[in-house]
Amino acid sequence: MSDSIILGIESSCDDTSAAIIKGNSILSNIAANQAIHKEYGGVVPELASRAHQQNIIPVVEKSLTKANIQQNAISAIGFTRGPGLLGSLLVGTSFAKSLAMSLDVPLIEVNHLQAHILAHFIEDANPMPPKFPFLCLTVSGGHTMIVLVKDYFDMEIIGKTIDDAAGEAFDKIGKIFDLDYPAGPIIDRLAKEGNPDSYKFNKPKLENYDYSFSGIKTSVLYFIQKEVKKDPDFIKNNLNDLCASVQKTIIEILMAKLEKAAKDLDIKEVAIAGGVSANSALRQAMQDNNEKLGWNIYIPKFEYTTDNAAMIAMVAQLKFERGEFTDLRTSATAKYDL
Ligand code: KG4
Ligand code: ZN
């Protein structure tokens, strides 16, 4: 891999992030989270793009300072072109374009989903990078899919959610429990003190490798409405058990299809990526399958799971080596296939 220094910029949702990569080694990875969305129980697109505008310059400056890199040492600029919230993407895209123009360096567009998967090739993401072909369960707030990764830029989605994403299920169920947004990490924490076998919730019965998470959400909602009628403090009194049971169900749904795909395709290289791959029960389930099924598992380092610019810089580096540059007339795109 070349030793070029590349700046990566991520602004697809509610995190403004900038990172500097040299080869595949991350020199800095800075993110500004947008606490503002907590009050609204979800990301408000208009507020997100406004916050990106405020954050982007300080975040990029900080990434350069932390990496101890001068602007003129940068060989290229990578940015998230999509998928994501258009208003948010536009901020990162316009900034990347103008900086590339002023520094006279190539501009490189990055697909956010590819970046979650290719984060596994960052030097310190794993003790060893995955070997092709591998399966990658990509689970975030906006996406849930099983991807067959044949090569760096040769990926095939073999299964995906037909409704909510797994992260969305965590967040929406968290809302029913009156937890802050995003509820995924909170449910994970509360579940540690709970009994995962306390309650049973509906699981979808779908053919092939597709997922559905709207059923579990409704099943939890109806159950809670019924119980709260009998005991108004039901949620408060049983919160840990509720979180543990919900988490167990979501992880079982995710793992069942992943196991089926690995078996059918006879692949033992199995990775997880995206925000939900930070979940401790999912990480444990992967560990278990390393022992039970002989999988070689790839679980990214925590800081490369939720949205971050390090993964954008990694993809930009791979594209830089291949001479895959983007025209300055490019624009952001809310939808962007793998
Ligand atoms: O990849 P990401 O940062 O943003 C998207 O591209 O969507 O993923 C965010 C999602 C949120 O739904 C959040 O609740 C979930 O990842 N998440 C978790 C955990 N940490 C983040 N879900 C369950 N357990 C966690 N520990
Ligand atoms: Zn993401």
Q: What dotted CATH number matches 5-119+305-322?
A: 3.30.420.40
Q: Is the pLDDT of residue 40 over 80?
A: no
**Tokens representing 252?**
């079982």
* CATH number for the domain whose boundaries are 131-299: 3.30.420.40
Tell me which residue has its CA closest to atom 22 in ligand 1.
184
Q: Which residues lie closer than 8 Å to 157 by C-beta, 6 or more apart?
A: 145, 146, 147, 148, 338
| CB 274 less than 6 A from any atom of ligand 1 | yes
What does pTM read for this prediction?
0.95
CA atoms within 13 A of residue 178's CA, in its CB half-sphere:
7
Residues 317-330, mean pLDDT to the nearest whole number: 97
Residue 144 Cβ contacting ligand 1 at under 6 Å: no
Choosing from 140, 161, 171, 312 the residue with most ligand 1 atoms within 8 A of its CB, the one to mutate for a pocket test is 140
Query: Which pLDDT score, from 0 to 100, does residue 78 have?
Result: 98
Q: What is the DSSP letter of 273?
A: E
pLDDT one-digit tens code per residue, 84-127: 999 999 999 999 999 999 999 999 999 999 999 999 999 999 99
- Closest listed residue to residue 31, CA positions, set 254, 309, 316, 236: 309
| Cα 111–Cα 42–Cα 254 angle in degrees, nearest 5 | 60
CA 312 to chain centre: 12
Closest approach atom of ligand 1 to CA 307: 3
C-alpha of residue 232 to centroid of ligand 2, in Å: 36
Question: How many residues does the structure list for the chain?
Answer: 338
The pLDDT, as a whole number, for residue 135 is 98
The residues of the chain that CATH labels 3.30.420.40 are 5-119+305-322, 131-299
**Dist CA 115 CA 225 (whole Å):** 40
